[in-house]
Amino acid sequence: MKTSDNGPCWPRSHNTFCLMALLFAATFCAYGQGNVFKHIRYNGGTFYTKVRPNDWHNQLTVTSDVITFKLHDDQEIQILSKLVTSLSYGEDSNHLYFIGIQYTSPKGEKAGLLVQGDKHNYRAMLEALQSVTDLPIAVNDTNRATIPLGLKTTPNVTGDLPTGAKSAAQLEAEAKATQYGNVSITSDPQDADVLVDGTYVGITPASMDLIVGTHSVRISRRGYSDWSREINVFVRSKLTLSAILDKQK
């Protein structure tokens, strides 16, 4: 091995190998951090939020283990990649790109998430979701041409957009017409699961807007007995729930 004033002089082939190794390591680290998409709309799903459907300031992060959707109000939902049951895609006449994710919650409940990407990120979102779930994407014949090459697809038997997909104008009008009340929930101990009408919506402490009407609330934490209440939500009401959980014997 030759040396110089600056230290060892490795053969050119060794330098090339080192460069390739560094590039591989950088790629591996970037993948480990997940694919992050920051220009996303929330168009429907099985959890409650006060974020409007025309708000783009939401974030989707896709890793090999978890798909995380963080809303503009800091509400967050995590979907285990292995529990995703189906993926779907559709584009409407206004060139809005809808992606549906159907999954099973850790408690065995069926759930769904419908998001909207833009023309710059929807293809990468589809690629990332399929890479971690290994599921085909349900798509109708009209939209098949806009799916990235190499992705596995399956026919959308209904020919419709992913379940729940509506135009931004329709969703905004419906949101304005819907009446809500606010519910704040705390628990002792904290960090307990909150389920509203059987759907997981986050952990305590939590604050959410619920549609006016009757709802069932259950607070659950491992090692403790469940706490549940049936509540009535009124227009612009503010309700506070404090759950004291008893340790299981």
- Determine if the pTM surpasses 0.75: no
Closest Cα to residue 236, out of 180, 185, 184? 180
In this prediction, residue 24 carries a pLDDT of: 44
- 85: amino acid identity, one letter: T
- 72: amino acid identity, one letter: H
**Residue 25 scores a pLDDT above 50:** no
Residues 104 and 120 sit within 8 Å (Cβ to Cβ): no
For 206-243, what is each residue's pLDDT tens digit? 888 888 889 999 999 999 999 999 999 888 889 999 99
Please give the CATH topology (third level) of the domain spanning 35-173: PH-domain like (2.30.29)
Q: What is the mean pLDDT of the chain?
A: 80
191 SS3 class: coil
Greatest C-alpha distance within the chain: 81
The helix (run of H) or strand (run of E) holding residue 137 is: strand 137-139
Q: Which CATH superfamily is domain 179-244 in?
A: Immunoglobulins (2.60.40.10)
Q: Where are the domains of the chain?
A: 35-173, 179-244
For 57-89, what is each residue's pLDDT tens digit? 999 999 999 999 998 888 888 899 999 999 999
The helix (run of H) or strand (run of E) holding residue 175 is: helix 168-177
What is the token pair recorded at 130? 């399929």
Q: Give the C-alpha distances (Å, rounded to integers) separating 49 from 52, 53, 59, 214.
A: 8, 10, 14, 17
pLDDT grade, residue 54 (50/70/90)? confident
Closest Cα to residue 62, out of 109, 30, 105? 30
In this prediction, residue 177 carries a pLDDT of: 60
Residues 73 and 57 sit within 8 Å (Cβ to Cβ): no
